């Protein structure tokens, strides 16, 4: 009898602990070590005034980044003056990564925001792989960019230096996958973390849950 009572109590405690753990894991009240992590070495932010800096680490070819894009753009629009949003391309293949090279060139030419969607369409709708310098130049010309101006920036010392340093930038933010979002130079989250912290969440709700985590981190940063 004593043994049965002990086992019942143990099972009850285990179930209670399980539900308690789940209660702590929620996108609307995220916890460090669950839905997000706090960087060991917070990074300086570029946002001015009271704006909270939000950085999306992404890769052009990344299907998850492409899937997140529409909702992410809507979220950025709704945040308005609360945030300063920018992107950083993770250099998958190292110091000569052609995707990151194209991104940095468009950014330097102040064309990144208006052509970002077109690059994604090239990869994910037209199924054309921009995986070489020649492919990038051909794409740029096709999309109305002057070839000589593009090549001047693409081959410039400044852009190639930034490309070589891109891996170190990602490492400083502790980023090794995409999409990953950094809030206020301090907090790191991504859909995979949100999914792992909330087992059983329907796949179609994962994007919304990720944005709820971002809402909470922005609010936390503004305090």
pLDDT at 203: 83
* Helix 98-108 with 157-172: angle, nearest 10 deg: 110
Name the residue with tokens 């946002």.
Answer: 47
Domains of the chain, CATH where assigned: 1-90+175-223 (3.40.30.10), 94-174 (3.40.30.10)
pLDDT at 48: 87
Helical ranges in the chain per DSSP H: 2-24, 63-79, 98-108, 112-124, 133-142, 147-154, 157-172, 191-197, 206-222
Residues 6+ apart with CB under 8 A from 136: 98, 101, 102, 105, 130, 154
Full pLDDT tens readout for the chain, 223 residues: 434 433 333 333 333 334 334 445 578 899 999 999 999 999 999 998 899 999 999 999 999 999 999 999 999 999 999 999 999 999 999 999 999 999 999 999 999 999 999 999 999 999 999 999 999 999 999 999 999 999 999 999 999 999 999 999 999 999 999 999 999 999 999 999 999 999 988 888 999 999 999 999 999 999 8
d(CA 173, CA 129) in angstroms, rounded, equals 27
Which residues on neighbouring strands pair with residue 55, listed in sequence order? 86, 182
pLDDT at 223: 83
Residues 6+ apart with CB under 8 A from 30: 36, 189, 194, 197, 213, 216, 217
pLDDT at 112: 97
pLDDT at 16: 38
pLDDT at 5: 36
d(CA 127, CA 109) in angstroms, rounded, equals 25
pTM of the model: 0.86
d(CA 168, CA 11) in angstroms, rounded, equals 48
Residues in the chain: 223
Residue 126 tokens, joined:
């037209």
Q: Name the 3-class secondary structure at 93.
A: coil
pLDDT at 25: 56
């Amino acid at each position: 009898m004593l043994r049965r009572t002990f086992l019942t109590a143990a099972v009850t405690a285990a179930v209670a602990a399980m539900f308690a753990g789940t209660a702590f894991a929620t996108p609307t009240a995220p916890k460090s070590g669950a839905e997000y992590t706090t960087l060991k070495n917070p990074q300086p932010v570029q946002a001015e005034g009271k704006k909270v800096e939000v950085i999306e680490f992404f890769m052009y070819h990344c299907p998850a980044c492409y899937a997140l894009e529409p909702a992410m753009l809507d979220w950025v629009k709704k945040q308005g003056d609360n945030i300063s949003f920018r992107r950083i391309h993770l250099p998958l293949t190292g110091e000569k990564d052609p995707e990151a090279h194209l991104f940095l060139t468009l950014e330097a030419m102040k064309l990144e925001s208006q052509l970002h969607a077109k690059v994604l369409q090239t990869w994910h709708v037209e199924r054309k792989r921009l995986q070489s310098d020649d492919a990038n130049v051909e794409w740029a010309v096709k999309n109305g960019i002057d070839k000589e101006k593009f090549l001047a920036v693409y081959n410039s010392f400044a852009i190639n230096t930034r490309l070589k340093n891109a891996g170190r930038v990602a490492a400083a933010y502790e980023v090794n996958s995409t999409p990953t979002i950094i809030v206020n130079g301090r907090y790191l989250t991504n859909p995979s973390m949100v999914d792992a912290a909330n087992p059983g969440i329907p796949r179609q709700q994962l994007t919304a849950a990720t944005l709820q985590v971002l809402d909470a981190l922005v609010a936390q940063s503004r305090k």
